[in-house]
Structure 1
């Protein structure tokens, strides 16, 4: 998933359990960066995204949807 131009950010997120969670988290990140590539792994509780956004902006977008991001 990693490209040479866009860094990958991986977050551990609590509270994701279904397809709605995947859509909500993906939409939240893509609302800040429409070109972001987002992969949500419900089993691992991770969100990986290729984005130009800084980590704290991605974290804030996920938390605004009601999910807890682990440090």
Structure 2
């Protein structure tokens, strides 16, 4: 399960935007957010690279 550090994720709106973006690409994606740590773990059929690209396009580029 890929985990991403998302320094720009700070609020519920961020979580909603990320959820909408990733589930548009993979409706079965399971997302586990830790807003305090600003991390996201994703269980998805998409590759880590595809997920990172989608996060970047949504305005939340991964730090790792």
Deviations, residues 15-68 of structure 1 (Å, cap 9, x unaligned) = 111100001111111111000001111101101111010001100111111112
Structure 1, unaligned runs of 5 or more = 1-7
1:18 & 1:41 partners in 2: Cα distance? 11
**TM-score, length-normalised on structure 1?**
0.84
Structure 2, unaligned runs of 5 or more = none
SS in 1 for 2:4: strand
Which protein is bigger by CA-based radius of gyration?
A: 1
Displaced runs of 4+ in structure 1, greater than 6 A?
none
| RMSD over aligned Cα atoms | 0.9
**TM-score, length-normalised on structure 2?**
0.92
Answering whether residue 6 of structure 2 is matched by residue 30 of structure 1, we say no
SS in 2 for 1:17: coil
1:27 & 1:40 partners in 2: Cα distance? 13
Mapping for residues 12-51 of structure 1, pairs under 5 Å: 12-51=5-44
Answering whether residue 36 of structure 2 is matched by residue 66 of structure 1, we say no
